[in-house]
Amino acid sequence: MTDLLHHTAPRQPEATPRDALVARDVHVQAGSFPAVRGVSAAFRPGVFSAVIGPNGAGKSTLLRALLGLNPVTGGEVTLAGRPLGAWSRAQRSRQLAYLAQSEGLPDGARVRDVVALGRGAGDWRFGLLPRTPWTPADEAAVDAALDRTDTRRFEDRRVSELSGGERQRAALARALAAEPRFLLLDEPTNHLDLAYALDVVRYLRCEVAGGLGVVAVLHDLNLAARADHLVLLCGGRVQASGTPHEVLTPEHLHAAYGLHVNVVQHADRLLVIPQD
């Protein structure tokens, strides 16, 4: 466990690799309000990236723009060098998985059935009619997703019978079942107590080690400090980006949150402590 949490410094090549998810000067309007105003950032496979910033900074909006769920009003998002719009809906849904802020898991459903839904509509006719049959490869992907999130043992339970942490892991399994290249999560640790929150980060770490690109919107800066790469948003713009050491400085955080903080190093992790 400690090994995973204290992941050794990741390799971060300076040049943007060909398979990255890249935002280039992205603008997004939320109604008449410019929620994202010229954000550029690159997210790589095998890297745990976190998007942080105060409320209303445009974090969730940026995440949805990266998924192609929010129309971009300026700039562009590219996946593996191709603009997102050039990918078909089916192809895009295979590459980019999304875990929404509060995923609507239908209460009475079996965990396994919910996870199986994560295989998605990738090759459905019109996105509405699933092709038959359900292949062994699909079955294997669902099994793997259940195994990797330790949800296999309650795969036959109903969602309503799960604890908050189990629920979030089931949601994670659902997202992983698609075998995506990137997983974009909107505040995955919201409403979870510390132990469960760390649990989620631990599972994500495992996936990152396996080559998955993770982009998570996080509120808790001390949790974000465990990521490899941080993007600090403020007022729809990038305040800072880079390693936790580069981003989590009292100066950047003051600029973003309007709050004086102390950043201390404990073991090899950073801790952000607000000043009274």
Partner 1 sequence: MQAAAPRRGLGVGLGTLLLAALLLAAVVLGTGLGSVTIPPGEVLGALWRGVTRQALEGNDVIVWQIRLPRVVMGALVGASLSVCGGAFQGVFRNPLADPYLLGVASGSALGATVAIVAGWPRALIPVSALLTALVAVACTLSLAREGRRFPPTRLILAGVVVGSVLSAATTALILRGEDRARQVLAYTLGDLGFSGWRDVLTVLPYAALGCGALLLLARALDTLQLGELTARSLGVPVERLRLIAVIAASLATAGAVAYVGVIGFVGLIVPHMIRLAFGPGHRTLLPLSALLGGALLVGADLLARTTPLSQVGIVTTLLGGPFFLWLLRKERHD
Closest to partner 1 by CB, 120 or 244: 120
Q: Which two tokens stand for residue 160?
A: 């309503």
- Sole binder of partner 1 in the list 7, 10, 45, 143 (CB under 8 A): 143
Closest to partner 1 by CB, 132 or 265: 132
- Sole binder of partner 1 in the list 54, 75, 83, 109 (CB under 8 A): 109
Closest to partner 1 by CB, 25 or 147: 147
**Neighbour tally for 252: CB within 10 Å:** 21
Q: Fill in the amino acid letter for 202.
A: R
**Neighbour tally for 203: CB within 10 Å:** 20
x-or-dash pattern for partner 1, window 211-250, by CB under 8 A? ----------------------------------------
Report the phi/psi class of residue 49: left, alpha or beta, with left for phi > 0 and alpha for psi in -120 to 50: beta
- Asked whether the beta carbons of 204 and 217 are under 8 A apart, the reply is no
Footprint on residues 89-108 left by partner 1 (CB under 8 A): 89-90, 92-94, 96-100, 102-108
Q: Which residues contact 239 (CB under 8 A, 6 or more apart)?
A: 53, 232, 233, 252, 255, 256
Count of residues that interact with partner 1, criterion CB under 8 A: 43
Q: Which two tokens stand for residue 14?
A: 């300076």
The phi and psi torsions of 236 (rounded to 5 degrees) equal 85, 5
Q: How far is the CB of 187 from partner 1 (least distance, A)?
A: 13
- Interface with partner 1 by CB under 8 A: which range of 2-10, 16-24, 35-43, 151-159? 151-159
Q: Does 24 bind partner 1 (CB under 8 A)?
A: no
CA distance 74 to 28: 7
Token look-up 């090899």 returns 268
- Asked whether the beta carbons of 158 and 113 are under 8 A apart, the reply is no
- Interface with partner 1 by CB under 8 A: which range of 15-23, 62-70, 191-199, 204-212? 62-70
Q: Does 158 bind partner 1 (CB under 8 A)?
A: yes
Closest to partner 1 by CB, 156 or 246: 156
3-state secondary structure of 261: strand
Q: Which residues of the chain form contacts with partner 1 (CB under 8 A)?
A: 64, 67, 69, 89-90, 92-94, 96-100, 102-110, 113-114, 117-118, 120-122, 124, 126-130, 139, 143, 155-158, 174, 178
